[in-house]
Homo-oligomer: A and B are copies of this chain.
Amino acid sequence: MTGPPTTPPAGRPGSRSAPARPTIRDVATRAGVSPMTVSRTLRDDPRVSSTTRERVMSAVAELGYRRNELARNLRLGGSSGLVGLVVTNLANPFYSQLALGVEAVTGEHGLKVVLGNTGEDPQRERRLVEELTSRRVDGMIVVPAGGDHSHLDPISVGAPVVLAARPPANLSADCVLVDDFGGAREATARLLASGVRRPAFLGLPSWVWTTSERFRGFSAAVQEAGLEVDDRFVRRHHGTIATAQEAAGELLALQDPPDGLFCANSRTTLGAFRAVTVTGAQLALAGFDDFELADMLGVPLILVAYDPGELGRQAARLLEDRMAATGDAELPPRRVVVPTTVVEYGRG
């Protein structure tokens, strides 16, 4: 009963090549009904008679029609069905897993994720946020780069904003964080419990929020063990494995070197591991972030593990929550903390 192989709808004047996508009107014409009936059919409106529905659906199939969500969303209120996701470095497995978590949750509700990568450049972040705003994203999840987050104000963005991994500064917004303090504290406590008496800390510059939190956790554990944080044993580096190795090497070269080291992230841990391997020093290692092969390095390692995907999923849930809110509700900013666990490798 399918009609004769229809010629594709007449392309717009001038473009003979690209078989211009059929619109709802083409379908209507083909099915011998009005565009409204097609629209209703596609919306699964129960008022459409089943015979009409069938005619419409055949026309849809024959023409290969796909509803234009752009036009639909415009008519529906100007939103896009898109969620903006702005991260600092997608090449970092941490953020790609976060992205995966976001995608998994938003995908369940038909929202799609638009990606932006800042490379830790606040300037670029501003640009990306503006572009996403112009595209009328229904919400945004951002791992903020700079120190001032005022440009992430949901008001100016025109949609809810959720920060991930780092808390808002100069801004009232939901956020999802890792338990940086608790994780660092517990790992450090285990390090001390294993007999370390001269603990050291190696991390990024102190203005990096996660590093400062992890340092707080480190300090707390040290003090709770009745020890004191030795300033000479607190070092910062610039985030690469190489600089971490260098900084760890300096610690080991001290006249009275530390006997244990807490590293504020995985690259730091790897740098420290290299320094230990190269020098053959006796240094118990702990660090934030679990990583593949940690169990294969042949040295004992106490690591703080957590699920980056969970960070993304929680962020997406907070966001969807806000999007669902009428807006009059004005729920106050929420803060979700993702738990950490401590894992030990290479014991014995």
In chain A, positions 114-138 with a C-beta closer than 8 Å to chain B are: 114-117, 130-136
A74 proximal to B (CB < 8 A):
yes
Given the contacts A78-B70, A91-B309, A100-B90, A16 and B156 also touching, CB distance less than 8 Å:
no
Bound together, the chains give a CA A18 to CA B17 distance in angstroms of 44
CB-defined contacts of A67 to chain B, threshold 8 Å: 134
A172 proximal to B (CB < 8 A):
no
Q: How large is the interface on A (under 10, 10 to 19, 20 to 34, 35 or more residues)?
A: 35 or more
Q: Mark A51-83, 1 if CB is under 8 A from B, else 0.
A: 000000000000010111111011000101110
Bound together, the chains give a CA A70 to CA B67 distance in angstroms of 15
CB-defined contacts of A233 to chain B, threshold 8 Å: none
**Which residue of B is nearest A309, CB measured?**
B91
The prevalent SS among residues of A at the interface is: mixed
CB-defined contacts of A19 to chain B, threshold 8 Å: 155
Q: Which of B113, B291, B292, B309 contacts A114 (CB 8 A)?
A: B113
Bound together, the chains give a CA A82 to CA B112 distance in angstroms of 11
Whether the pair B74, A103 counts as a contact (CB closer than 8 A) is no
Q: Mark A277-305, 1 if CB is under 8 A from B, else 0.
A: 10000000000000111001110000000
CB-defined contacts of A293 to chain B, threshold 8 Å: 270, 292-293, 297
A161 nearest CB across to chain B (Å): 14
CB-defined contacts of A277 to chain B, threshold 8 Å: 296
A63 nearest CB across to chain B (Å): 11
A21 proximal to B (CB < 8 A):
yes
Given the contacts A21-B158, A82-B114, A134 and B100 also touching, CB distance less than 8 Å:
no
Given the contacts A68-B134, A80-B70, A17 and B328 also touching, CB distance less than 8 Å:
yes
Bound together, the chains give a CA A131 to CA B73 distance in angstroms of 14
A271 nearest CB across to chain B (Å): 11
CB-defined contacts of A104 to chain B, threshold 8 Å: 117
Bound together, the chains give a CA A71 to CA B113 distance in angstroms of 19
Whether the pair A296, B309 counts as a contact (CB closer than 8 A) is no
Given the contacts A90-B103, A114-B113, A134 and B69 also touching, CB distance less than 8 Å:
yes
A175 nearest CB across to chain B (Å): 21
Whether the pair B112, A112 counts as a contact (CB closer than 8 A) is no
A15 proximal to B (CB < 8 A):
yes
Given the contacts A68-B134, A93-B91, A114 and B112 also touching, CB distance less than 8 Å:
yes
Q: Which 10 A-B pairs have the closest CB atoms?
A: A96-B96, A17-B327, A113-B115, A90-B100, A17-B328, A18-B327, A69-B134, A66-B134, A69-B135, A91-B97
Can you identify 7 A-B contacts, CB atoms within 8 angstroms? A16-B328, A91-B97, A96-B96, A270-B293, A293-B293, A296-B297, A298-B298
